[in-house]
Each structure stands twice: as C-alpha cells, then as structure tokens.
Chains A and B, each alone.
Chain A
Amino acid sequence: MRKLLLLVLFATVTAVSYAGGYRVSVQGQRAMAMGHTGVAVVNSAELVFFNPAGLVYLEDKLNVSVGASGIFTDIIYQNEELGTSSQTDNGVGTPLNLYGSYRINDWFTAGLGVYTPYGSGVTWPTDWPGSHLVNNIELAAIYIQPTLSFKLSDKFSIGGGPIFVTGSVNFNRNLSRTTEDLEGNRSNVTIDDSGVTNWGWSIGAMFNPSENFRLGFSYRSEITLEAEGGEATFSNVPNSTAVGFTNGTTTFDASLPLPAELTVGLSYQYKKWLFAFDFNRQFWDVYESLDIDFGSTDANPDSVNPRNYKNSSVFRFGLQYEATEKITLRAGYYRDESPVQSGYFAPETPRNDSDGFSGGFSYAITSKLAIDASFFYLRFSEITESYDFGTSSTGTVESFGGTYKSSAFAPGLGLTYKM
C-alpha cells in the first residue's frame, strides 16, 4: 500500500502523453500509464497499435483490451498590450481503443484494432479576439486496423496491416476580424463533414536480444483525409454582392493530413520491474496549409491558411512494478515537442512543447480479467506567440497573437481479458 502511494505521488510529480498538433496519444490504458510507451513492451493486445510484431509473443491465445479516457483540456489566452483575455470551454475528448489478438498457431497471430489517434476539440467563446481564426473545432478520426503478426524466431518477429480511417470535422470561424452584417453580427462560416474515409498501413518489427530485453520498431503511414462536397454554412454575411458569399449552405472541399509516425524503443525487465523507452518521430511536415475551397465561388481555393508544421519528436519513459499478484503499478514521463513553428501559432491547436506525467495501475479481478486505470497530466509552459499569416477582409496579411497557456488532464479506464 505504501509503495502504491509512493508510486502515485511519483507519477503526479513527474509527467504524461499528448502529442503536438492534433495527435492525441492515448492508445492504450496500460501504455498510457507508462508514458505511452509500448513499442517494445509485450503486455496486452494494445500491441496492435504500438507494435503489431509483438502480438505473436503474447502468452495467451486470446487477448482483448478495451479502454477509454476523458481528456479535459484548457487553453487560456491573454494580450497584455490590448487587455484582452479568453479561455476555452472545451468539451471532454474521449479517445477510445479496442484491441484483440488471437493466436492461430505458434508463429502466427491475427489481430484487430480500433483506435482514435487524431482528434481535436477546441471551443473558444464565440467572437473572442481570435475568432477570425477559429471559434471552435471538432476533429475526429477512427482507425480500424486488421493486423497480422509473424514470429520468425524467438528473437525476431514482424507484423503489420492495413488501416481504414473514417474521419469527421466541424469547424467554425468568423470570416474576418471585422466583417459583420448591418446589425453588427459577425459573419462566420461553419464547415462540417463526416464519413471521410481513406486507407493507410502499419508495420512493426520486434527483436529480443535476451529474455529480458526487447527492441521495437513500428511505422504508421500518413493518411490524408480528403473532404469533398462537405457542408459549409455561412451566417450573418452582409447583404451585398461585394462580399462573395451569401448566407446559407454551400459545399466545400478541403484536405487534412494525418501524419506518419515512426517509433523505435526498448524495454528491459528486472525482476518485478519493467522499464520502457519509446522515441516517436511524427512527420508533420506534410501539413503545409489548410486550404478550403467553397463550392459557391469560382475562386480555388477560397481560404488559404498556411500551417507549415515541422516534424517533431516525443521522448517517452515508462516504468511498471508488479506490486502484488493482483496489482501492477505504472508511471511515466514524456517530453512532447510541438510541430508548430514560431509565427504559425494558430489558436485551433495552440500547442507548444510540453511535459507529460502519467500513472496508473492494473487490478486483476480474476486470472483472466483485469481493470486498467491510467491518467495523465500535460504541462505546458506559457508562451507568447502569434499566427502571422492570417488574411484580412481586404486580402492583406495580418498577425494575431498573445500569450497562451494550455493544460490537459485525462483519466482513463479499461479492461484486459486474456484466455
């Protein structure tokens, strides 16, 4: 009990995992508790996501892991020079994961994963100072991944599978800082689309130099969500042919990349202790610009919003301790670099580098069924930044900035079943 308390305290003073941009790294309760490490951890069916190659080394024939977290995020904004301040009122993000693996024979295991690695939910007060960039955004992508895992030897395995993605987006912003109708209501547009699908793939490899030491590698491909013929709704647009838009609904086309991610890592088991380290490289440089083309106009595209993300890295450290036969304790820390470059700090994903602190435990109800609990807290330092590539109502480039500070906290629960 005392050890539990110590570990919990350790977890609260160190940090957890939530990646930059709109990557939400919460793909397994056990991994999450360990700083979202897992490319070289053979522990549960969470391996479908973390490293398909590892599934074949799971001891049991059938492994199922399900879980969900509730992510509570807050972003605050202020500009001392202008005396303006604001605060998001975000809904609770709920990343889900469902994994299963089944050993078909000694060298071959099949698996299936459903998870949500990308998403965003930011709601600023309507017409806040940065409302010409975003009032609110809801972004979600569900990955469905059938997986095969092959044991080439006791020391080496490979795995992988195709990924089917279905995504949705809802995004509202004001047309400009000043455009409003005659009554002073700010002109705005909402774009909404769902059921946007595409395919990608995942591969992994695992190498076990010794009984206690594992090395892992995994790679998940980039998948671009192409929204075509989505619904765009304009509101409070001035009644003027000079504006180019009219109130009501039209279509829109836009595309959003879900970047590729490369992970390498290791784990080392010492008696009841397991240490894990993962390094993620996220290839955000594909996110150059968010371009939106509305169907009601000839212009193509109508709205160009440079993003110019850079590739970014995450360094993850995790620790596991088998306290009793029934209780396993976990903690982790990670350093998450933001892909957002200076001058591109748009308030829809106002993320700077952060420290993540995680913790959690598993409690074995029976030999087959365990409850997994995790939480993480993401700590951001405050940052004074701006988005310098906004377009004013007259077409000139304009800047919007201030001081931002974010935090995220997410408790999660899951079940692991093995047989």
Chain B
Amino acid sequence: MMKKNIKYLAILVLGLVACEPEFDNPIDEVGVYSSGEADFSTYVALGNSLTAGYADNALYITGQENSYPNILSQQFAFAGGGEFTQPLMSDNTGGALLGGTQILDNRFVLAFDEEGNAVGPAIYAGATPTTEISANLGGSFNNMGVPGAKSFHLAAAGYGNVSLVADGLSNPYYARFASSGTSSVIEDALAQNPTFFSLWIGNNDILGYATSGGTGVNQDTEGNLDPTTYGGNDITNTDVFAATYNGLLEALTANGAKGVVLNLPSVTSIPFFTTVPYAPLSPADPNFGPQIPTLNETYAGLNAAFAFLGVGDRAIEFSTTEASPVVIVDESLTDITDGLSAVLAGTFGALAPIIAAQFGQARQATEDDLLLLTSSSLIGQLDTDRFAELVALNVPEETAGQFSVIGVSLPLGDEYVLLPEEQSEIENARNVYNATIEALAGVYDLAFYDAAADLEQVATTGYFSGGASLTSDFVTGGAFSLDGVHPTPRAHAFTANAILDVIERKYETVLPRVDILDYGTITVNDEVN
C-alpha cells in the first residue's frame, strides 16, 4: 500500500516539476523578433571615436562595452546577430603605452573635494595605463571604430603601422589590431565579409579644425585634393570626402551587404564649444572686480589709439555692473601692430612695441565667438610664460604681471576661440559632407540616420522621454562625457535606439530597444592629482 502511494507521489512530483512558469509568448521563441530583409550574422561597425566608444578623452573597456555598435549588436542578437567582438583596451584607466612609455592620457573623471563640492573633470590618477599599443591583438574585430580617424584614413594603407605611431604618422588605436603594417581599416573590415555594416565617419574631418580654434587649413577652399598632405587640424576637401565615402560604400555593399550610414552633427553645438561663456569676467569676482578701474584706465589710452587708427570698434572696456567679454586675438582682423606701436610710443616709451604686438589683432569677444572648453582653466590666470618673456625684455615685474592676465590684459589666443568665419567654414563643409552621405545612402539603398537632427534637438531643446533627459549641458546634461565632445553611455544607447528605428523602417526588422536609463552618464572619482 505505502509502496504504491509512493509511486503515485513520484508521478505527481514529476508532473508538478513540469509546472514551472512559462509565458504565453516567451521572447526567446522564434518569430518574436525578426531581422526582416537584413542579415545581422556578421555586423561590422566602421567609424571613428564615436564608433569605438571613446569617452572622457580616452578609450577604456566600459566605454567600449557601451558603444552604440556594441549595444546594437546585442539587439541584433535577438534576430540572428552573431558574436560582436571589440578591440577592448586592457583596463578602465584609459591612456596607453608605447614601448612602455605613456603616450595617451588617462581618462577624465569628475572629482569632488572632501566637502563634496565639485572640483570638475580631471585626469584620473588612481592607476597607470596597462594597454600597450605595440601588443597587436592579432586579429580583426567587428567594431572597427578607430578614434581620431578621418574619412580618408579608413582607406589609408598603413594607417595602423605601429612603427610610425611614435612619429604621429599612424594611429595608435588602429595599430593595436591592424592585420599588418600596410593594411587599411576598410580592408580589414571587408575581410570579415560583413553581412551588415554601419558607417559613421567624417566628424573628424571638421572636428580637428574646430577643436584647434580654427588654426588648421581649410583644404576645401584651398582646393587641395591630396589628403596625404593634410595636417591634423585641417578641414578635408569636400570632393575628397565624397570620393572616399563613395569608395567605402561601394566596397562594403559589393557582396550585397545591407547597412546604415549616419550623417554628421554640428560640432559647434557640443559642450566643448558651448560651455565657456564669451563674457565670463564678473565684477563680483574678488580677483577681477577691484582691478576694473585700473584696467579701464589703461585701456582708455589703448582705445584712443584704436580710434586714432580708425578701428575704434576694437575698444576694450570692462563693465562694473555686469560680466564682461574676454579679450581675444582675432586673426581675421587687420594687424595694426606697427601703427599702434607708433601711436603708443609717447605714452609707453620702450614698452610700446611690446604692447602693440599684444593688441595688434585684439578685440573683446562677442556672442558669436565660441570659446573652447580648454580656455576655461586659462581665463583670468597669469600666463607665466608671457610674464617671463616680458621680464626678460626688461619690463618691470609689476607691469609684466599687469599685462599677462589671460583674456583680461593678455588676449586669449586664437587657438582657444572659434570665430564666426571659422564656424562658417566648418558648417559649409559639414553641409556638403551631409548632402553627400544622404545622397550616397540613396544610391546604395542603405538605411540613413539623421544624427545631426537629433543632436540638434538635444542641444537646443533637450531630449525628454519617460523620465530620461539628454541635454548638451556640460557634466550635468547626460549626453556628453567629461571631454565635452564624446557621448556618454546613455547617449550611445539613445543613438542605438535611433539607428534601430531607421533600420526598422528600411529593412522591416522587429527588434527590441534599450531603456536609455539603464545606461550611465559620467564617472565620479576623487583619485586625481
């Protein structure tokens, strides 16, 4: 009797174990998600730092893991997407070594003092980098994003030649995974036989010019079609861009691969250019306010000279009631050093040529000028080099000090200011690049994501949805990492979702999105010097 009971109980237990919960429509069942007309089995991402997952002025593992291509690949995995490999750095410190010597800086972190007050972004000093550039990873990766790459670099043979890294003639990031010293990014990408690709390239074709304050050459207006002669801060010729881009797409689509291309957001709407106000000199600042009468007295003499020389609109004056614009060098102004020197000789004697040189192309900034993020730590500070220089010219120390305050008595250098004309040059090139990208997306029948429009929204009104917000406010906006240029993980997630939208429209895919609130923004850490 008991034996039989036990037998029935055993049956019962077996029956109930089968009662484990199961959804009516489990998402891991075939048919819930679909790749539509696309084939995600081998997805290769091409691009620059944005594609690589570069953030906080460095490339590091968690940034790479949160790159938009990696997020996309995780969603593609719901519909046949294969493994997605990335050339992961060796640590989360950022920075890198070449032959044991550090050649790339550690990442930025947001530091706070002991009272919990924000000190600001600073270089992480809690560890030394362990990524050795010369240690080739020995293979290609699905994420072929290379920080620093311009459009034509993707097709440049030898762009990852490690022996040229030290001289700045090749790219340290690509050197880590280039298949050879003569390979190009596009060759290494094609060798993987991608069935689907993304291409987001061209940002650096204008960004270098912008972040250098327009100190490079506009090779478009120069008509220079040979990119091997370009400097790092130059604007790429639009015809070179178009030919390069066409070549990339032709190669990528040759075997029938589908893909998505992204256009280029305005580089001047990012925090790197919008954070430092043109008029940051507050009379309430105890280091500045009390100096205003003396400064204005000194500038009165200079302003009279400006007027005498017919450039009275360059007059410099500081307000005692509201914040005043910084004094900048504007290289587009007529250089009046010689005239100024002559006019000032009576008042300043031997000092006149020195002062004249300092103010030959100076004016106060206007709201149309964009001050670079890197200027924020300089404005109002004593330029010790200039001070030493003046002292060496036998200028008394007190006077030398008075003429060496950056942005106040020593005009802020051209490399820290993006002038309106420089902004126009950048915009003109960008508009042509974007027209090319959109047109070629049509020619090659690819999905096209208007990243420019979305960033425009983030920068102007902000993006708000379901408790998530992204604005281009530096540090607090959620969209930009601590370098003020590169996106946060949350912005990468936003980008991935937007790309999924256009892929869905183009290829009739059915894929899940990510919740951007699951992705972080900036990293706080107090281990800084």
Q: Interface residues, chain A, CB within 8 Å of chain B?
A: 1, 4-5, 8, 12, 74-76, 78-85, 129, 177-180, 182-184, 238-243, 327, 361, 363, 373, 375, 377, 379-380, 382, 392, 396-399, 403, 405-407, 409, 411
Candidates A5, A81, A239, A375; contact of B527 at CB < 8 Å: A239
- Closest Cβ of chain A to B91, distance in Å, is 8
Q: Give 10 CB contacts A-B under 8 Å.
A: A4-B8, A12-B15, A82-B512, A178-B520, A182-B92, A184-B61, A238-B525, A240-B525, A375-B16, A382-B21
CA distance A406 to B513 in the complex (A): 25
B115 touches A182 (CB 8 A): no
Residues of A within 8 A of B111 (CB): 240
B12 touches A242 (CB 8 A): no
Main secondary structure of the interface of B (DSSP, over half): loop
Residues of B within 8 A of A382 (CB): 21, 23-24
Candidates A82, A239, A242; contact of B126 at CB < 8 Å: A239
Residues of B within 8 A of A84 (CB): 512
Nearest A-chain residue to B127, judged by Cβ: A182
Residue B415 at the chain A interface, CB threshold 8 Å: no
B524 touches A183 (CB 8 A): no
- Closest Cβ of chain A to B38, distance in Å, is 16
Residues of B within 8 A of A379 (CB): 19
B78 touches A363 (CB 8 A): no
Mark B108-131 against chain A: 1 for CB-CB distance below 8 A, else 0. Answer: 011111111010000010100000
CA distance A380 to B24 in the complex (A): 12
Question: Apart from A12-B15, A83-B511, what are 12 other A-B pairs with CB-CB below 8 Å?
Answer: A5-B8, A8-B12, A75-B21, A80-B512, A178-B518, A183-B62, A238-B525, A240-B526, A241-B114, A392-B517, A398-B467, A405-B22
CA distance A148 to B508 in the complex (A): 72
CA distance A4 to B109 in the complex (A): 70
A74 touches B524 (CB 8 A): no
Residue B348 at the chain A interface, CB threshold 8 Å: no
Residue B65 at the chain A interface, CB threshold 8 Å: yes
Residue B49 at the chain A interface, CB threshold 8 Å: no
A74 touches B21 (CB 8 A): yes
CA distance A129 to B517 in the complex (A): 11
A78 touches B23 (CB 8 A): yes
**Contact A12 to B524, CB < 8 A, known contacts A78-B26, A377-B19:** no
A407 touches B20 (CB 8 A): yes
Mark B480-521 against chain A: 1 for CB-CB distance below 8 A, else 0. Answer: 000000000010000000000000000000011111011111
Q: Interface residues, chain B, CB within 8 Å of chain A?
A: 1-2, 4-5, 8-9, 12-13, 15-17, 19-28, 32-33, 61-62, 65, 75, 78, 92, 109-116, 118, 124, 126, 466-467, 490, 511-515, 517-521, 523-527
Residues of A within 8 A of B115 (CB): 241
Residues of B within 8 A of A129 (CB): 518
- Tell me the total A-B contact number using a CB cutoff of 8 A: 126
CA distance A275 to B22 in the complex (A): 33
Residues of B within 8 A of A361 (CB): 5
CA distance A368 to B126 in the complex (A): 72
- Closest Cβ of chain A to B165, distance in Å, is 27
B2 touches A363 (CB 8 A): yes
CA distance A74 to B17 in the complex (A): 11
Nearest A-chain residue to B16, judged by Cβ: A409
B513 touches A177 (CB 8 A): no
B19 touches A180 (CB 8 A): no
Which of B16, B32, B62, B113 has the largest count of A CB atoms less than 10 A from its CB? Answer: B16
Nearest A-chain residue to B79, judged by Cβ: A83
**Contact A238 to B20, CB < 8 A, known contacts A81-B513, A182-B124, A375-B12:** no
Residues of A within 8 A of B515 (CB): 82
Residues of B within 8 A of A179 (CB): 520
A409 touches B524 (CB 8 A): no
A180 touches B520 (CB 8 A): yes
A407 touches B514 (CB 8 A): no
Which of B467, B511, B513 has the largest count of A CB atoms less than 10 A from its CB? Answer: B467
A373 touches B526 (CB 8 A): no
Residues of B within 8 A of A377 (CB): 16, 19
Residues of A within 8 A of B62 (CB): 180, 183-184
Which of B15, B21, B518 has the largest count of A CB atoms less than 10 A from its CB? Answer: B21
B524 touches A85 (CB 8 A): no
Residues of B within 8 A of A411 (CB): 9, 13
A240 touches B112 (CB 8 A): yes
Which of B19, B33, B118, B514 has the largest count of A CB atoms less than 10 A from its CB? Answer: B19
- Closest Cβ of chain A to B516, distance in Å, is 10
Candidates A80, A182, A327, A407; contact of B21 at CB < 8 Å: A407
A83 touches B12 (CB 8 A): no
Candidates B27, B114, B126, B490; contact of A182 at CB < 8 Å: B126
Nearest A-chain residue to B63, judged by Cβ: A184
Residues of A within 8 A of B2 (CB): 363
CA distance A174 to B110 in the complex (A): 21
- Closest Cβ of chain A to B74, distance in Å, is 8
**Contact A82 to B513, CB < 8 A, known contacts A180-B520, A182-B109:** yes
B12 touches A239 (CB 8 A): no
- Closest Cβ of chain A to B106, distance in Å, is 11
Residues of A within 8 A of B4 (CB): 1
B21 touches A83 (CB 8 A): no
Residues of A within 8 A of B520 (CB): 178-180
B526 touches A241 (CB 8 A): yes
CA distance A82 to B65 in the complex (A): 18
A81 touches B512 (CB 8 A): yes
Residues of B within 8 A of A398 (CB): 467, 517
**Contact A83 to B22, CB < 8 A, known contacts A238-B523, A238-B525, A241-B526:** no
B467 touches A80 (CB 8 A): no
B467 touches A397 (CB 8 A): yes
CA distance A183 to B4 in the complex (A): 59
A409 touches B518 (CB 8 A): no
Nearest B-chain residue to A180, judged by Cβ: B520
CA distance A239 to B110 in the complex (A): 11
CA distance A240 to B524 in the complex (A): 6
B16 touches A241 (CB 8 A): no
A407 touches B78 (CB 8 A): no
- Closest Cβ of chain A to B14, distance in Å, is 11
Q: Which 3 A-B pairs have the closest CB atoms?
A: A83-B512, A178-B520, A240-B524
- Closest Cβ of chain B to A380, distance in Å, is 7
B112 touches A241 (CB 8 A): yes
